[in-house]
């Protein structure tokens, strides 16, 4: 049974850096890509970026200047940093698993973290 | 503004068949698989359909997907009250080099 458990700060001030981590339990970490997806309040889903076990990354072009992802294979964890946040970055952030570039088969998701950016 | 276009709402009565449309372009739906997700309030999305018309294990046969050109549809037959949720289409976009989603369709069971 695959489980994704995520955590990170939920309240940020403008210009701060959002940091989230997702731990993967129960399945081969190296066989998949690991994504971050966000959802502003009352709105749709937006893919932020993905990383695999070797550190290969792909980012949404609209966010690439502010996004950094990393992976810790010893702990089966991956992380997201989003710099210079504004109110527009407020929303629920999810981590999710897929088969990688070309695939949009997010079959396992974290529980979501509500991130609020407010002064 | 989402890359894929869905109607914001849809509705049906119990037992009825409803369809939700998703429109894209040659860069996404026209050249890649379509996926569908269901999201209940306060929960993470759940994969409902992958590769246009395939159902993951555990998804009832009442749910079916189809694709034609740059458009796709999700059909739900034998509508039930528990089908009330938000439904999202998604596809890989060759121009953006990443997944894109529709804006979501809120399904109401009357």
**Residues of B in Cβ contact (< 8 Å) with A38:** none
pLDDT higher than 80, residue B38? yes
pLDDT higher than 80, residue B97? yes
Give the mean pLDDT of A95-104: 92
**pLDDT at residue number A62:** 95
pLDDT higher than 90, residue A27? no
**pLDDT at residue number A34:** 96
CA B4, CA B102: separation in Å to the nearest integer?
A: 4
Q: Percentage of chain B surpassing pLDDT 90?
A: 98
Count of Cβ atoms closer than 10 Å to residue B9 Cβ: 12
**Residues of A in Cβ contact (< 8 Å) with B50:** 104-105
Pair A73, A29: CB distance under 8 Å: yes
How far A112 CA sits from the closest chain B CA (Å)?
A: 7
CA A28, CA A23: separation in Å to the nearest integer?
A: 12
CA A68, CA A109: separation in Å to the nearest integer?
A: 20
pLDDT higher than 80, residue B85? yes
Interchain CB contact of B12 with A (< 8 Å): no
Name, in order, each residue with C-beta under 8 angstroms of B69's C-beta and a sequence gap of 6 or more.
B29, B30
Give the mean pLDDT of A33-40: 97
Please give the DSSP secondary-structure letter assigned to residue A59.
E
CA A115, CA A19: separation in Å to the nearest integer?
A: 10
Please give the DSSP secondary-structure letter assigned to residue A88.
G
**Residues of A in Cβ contact (< 8 Å) with B44:** 94, 96, 109-112
**pLDDT at residue number B1:** 81
Interchain CB contact of A27 with B (< 8 Å): no
User: Which of A37, A45, A93, A100 is the best substitution to test chain B (most B C-beta atoms within 10 A)?
Assistant: A45
Q: Look at strands A91-98 and A108-109 and give their pairing.
A: antiparallel
Pair A70, A52: CB distance under 8 Å: no
Interchain CB contact of B40 with A (< 8 Å): no
Nearest CA in chain B to A44: B103
Count of Cβ atoms closer than 10 Å to residue B108 Cβ: 12
CA B76, CA B79: separation in Å to the nearest integer?
A: 6
Nearest CA in chain A to B31: A102
């Amino acid at each position: 049974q695959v489980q994704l458990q995520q955590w990170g700060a939920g309240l940020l001030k403008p210009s701060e850096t959002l940091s989230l981590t997702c731990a993967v339990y129960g399945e081969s970490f190296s066989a998949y890509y690991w994504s971050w997806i966000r959802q502003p309040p009352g709105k749709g889903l937006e893919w932020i970026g993905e990383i695999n076990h070797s550190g290969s990354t792909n980012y949404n072009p609209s966010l690439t200047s502010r996004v950094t992802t990393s992976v810790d294979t010893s702990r089966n964890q991956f992380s997201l940093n989003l710099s210079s946040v504004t109110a527009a970055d407020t929303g629920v952030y999810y981590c999710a698993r897929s088969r990688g570039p070309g695939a949009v088969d997010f079959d396992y998701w974290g529980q979501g973290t509500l991130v609020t950016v407010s002064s | 503004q989402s890359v894929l276009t869905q109607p914001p709402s849809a509705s049906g009565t119990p037992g009825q068949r409803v369809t939700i449309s998703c429109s894209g372009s040659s860069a996404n739906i026209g050249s890649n698989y379509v996926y569908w997700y269901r999201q209940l309030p306060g929960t993470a999305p759940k994969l409902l359909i992958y590769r246009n018309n395939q159902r993951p294990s555990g998804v009832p046969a009442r749910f079916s997907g189809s694709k034609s050109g740059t458009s796709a549809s999700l059909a739900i037959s034998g509508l039930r009250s528990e089908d009330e949720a938000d439904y999202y289409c998604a596809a890989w976009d060759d121009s953006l080099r990443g997944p894109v989603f529709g804006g979501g369709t809120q399904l109401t069971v009357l």
